[in-house]
A and B are shown apart, each in its own frame.
Chain A
């Protein structure tokens, strides 16, 4: 069994609980034990605009904390995954900068003892395609669109999770889970997630356009791996719809939730209740049931 430190980052630990629940439930299926390490802070990714220096420091201190426990990091958030990987590689290539960061770490009572590996759930699921196929309980049987998110694909100078322009892993995972998934033109477009700080309308426009593209192409749902996109495309889908002036009603769901459901985990424990868009599973039936009830009542 491989032990990994779960690095929840800002969004998982403060609002996107459904993603964290599904990651916690799903990872043991792939022989991974998640450890909660105290002391983690923001990865620095959302505040690059303010200070790259601070971003590198925040990332490096989280790596140092995981290293102290002797653990590699599982970072389910794309922004965290890039920020941690970037700091590791940049400091590895720049001894002067590393010296400065070491001084700062000492001021906080931390030590730099070499980098740790940063892993994304997408990579783990892709390494375990056979496990998904062998343990398939509920084949998904739907046509699903993928939203990778920018930060696990770019930039390729660093080791990223998949190919930068033509990624394949998410489609392969969904096919292993019994779903149908083909590439569509807009799939590596940005969701505008990092716009929320100062360009909220534009963020909603970008997210809305992404959902609209998947809906227009006839997909049953949109699957993502990044909490920044999910909070807009799922949590604020109706606001996105108003902003772009279209009618949007598409299920948006985390990849870990889809795979967990396919492998027979309890939807409640995967945080299905916390997704605010139309449900991917059972939604139509419950609507019909509701209609029937109304008819009976009349």
Chain B
């Protein structure tokens, strides 16, 4: 008999769990099932020290199939992508990439993404980079443009419309 989450009264979502495992297999990362909860990831986690992200718990929930519960929780957005958990895992599990996949599901299903992320995405689709060219501040308080410093124009995709279409398509689909 499956375990029931007593907060949400939900059963585990086995289909979502296999989506995550299949994607991990596709990108050659160990499945979440291999985690044996040694908590080495959490003891080195940079975000643990600051915002109490506990990667071993994320993996435990994913392993049990409670993906909806994770998707709706703000804690998944506190990872600072230092890759220490992936580096140090004795089982080659990758909590950082499990978190990425859960957040990716949020975007695909049209849920809200926090902070600047949607801005970044729009700017990438509009001009190729996460932000537009900005004047830089100098030590004496004046501002200078790229061209004032003898730098060539910043690169950008040549056919912006085609680029935008393909990037949009890539962003809106899961790998499996």
Task: Tell me, yes or no, whether A198 is within 8 Å of chain B by CB.
Answer: yes
From B103, B132, B172, give the contact of A49 (CB < 8 A): B103
- In the bound complex, do residue A52 and residue B81 qualify as a contact, i.e. CB atoms below 8 Å apart? no
Give per-residue flags for A189-214: 1 if the beta carbon is below 8 A from chain B beta carbons, else 0: 11010111111101001100000000
Task: Tell me, yes or no, whether A289 is within 8 Å of chain B by CB.
Answer: no
Give the interface size class of chain B.
Answer: 35 or more
Task: Tell me, yes or no, whether B165 is within 8 Å of chain A by CB.
Answer: yes
Name the residue among A15, A93, A151, A196 with the largest chain B CB count within 10 angstroms: A15
Task: Tell me, yes or no, whether B36 is within 8 Å of chain A by CB.
Answer: no
Give per-residue flags for B133-168: 1 if the beta carbon is below 8 A from chain A beta carbons, else 0: 110111110001010011110111111001101110
By a CB distance below 8 angstroms, the chain B residues around A190 are: 46, 80, 82, 84
A285 → chain B, closest Cβ, in Å?
15
By a CB distance below 8 angstroms, the chain B residues around A242 are: none
B124 → chain A, closest Cβ, in Å?
5
By a CB distance below 8 angstroms, the chain A residues around B175 are: 52-53, 97, 100
Task: Tell me, yes or no, whether B104 is within 8 Å of chain A by CB.
Answer: yes
By a CB distance below 8 angstroms, the chain B residues around A245 are: none
Q: Which residue of B lies closest to A149 (CB)?
A: B82
Task: Tell me, yes or no, whether A129 is within 8 Å of chain B by CB.
Answer: no
Total contacts A-B at CB 8 Å = 197
From A51, A57, A195, give the contact of B80 (CB < 8 A): A195
- In the bound complex, do residue B134 and residue A197 qualify as a contact, i.e. CB atoms below 8 Å apart? no
By a CB distance below 8 angstroms, the chain B residues around A108 are: 157, 159, 162-163, 166
From A15, A53, A90, A97, give the contact of B136 (CB < 8 A): A15
Query: Which segment of B55-63, B65-73, B114-122 sits at the interface?
Result: B114-122
- In the bound complex, do residue B77 and residue A198 qualify as a contact, i.e. CB atoms below 8 Å apart? yes
- In the bound complex, do residue B51 and residue A150 qualify as a contact, i.e. CB atoms below 8 Å apart? no
Give me 18 A-to-B residue pairs in the complex whose CB atoms sit less than 8 angstroms apart, sorted by A's number. A40-B128, A41-B155, A42-B124, A42-B129, A49-B104, A50-B107, A51-B104, A51-B108, A56-B170, A58-B170, A94-B28, A96-B26, A104-B170, A197-B114, A199-B51, A202-B50, A202-B80, A273-B138
A contact set with B: CB distance below 8 Å: 8-10, 13-18, 20-21, 24, 36-42, 46-54, 56-58, 90, 93-94, 96-97, 100, 104, 107-109, 150-151, 154-156, 164, 189-190, 192, 194-200, 202, 205-206, 235, 271, 273-276, 279
Please name 10 further chain A to chain B contacts, defined as beta carbons within 8 Å, in addition to the given A13-B155, A46-B130, sorted by A numbering: A8-B154, A57-B166, A94-B26, A108-B157, A109-B162, A150-B84, A154-B84, A155-B86, A235-B137, A271-B149
B contact set with A: CB distance below 8 Å: 26-28, 46, 50-51, 77-84, 86-87, 97, 100-101, 103-104, 107-108, 113-117, 120-121, 124, 128-134, 136-140, 144, 146, 149-152, 154-159, 162-163, 165-167, 169-175
**Closest 8 pairs (CB-CB, A-B):** A198-B115, A13-B154, A154-B83, A41-B128, A40-B155, A190-B82, A197-B116, A57-B170
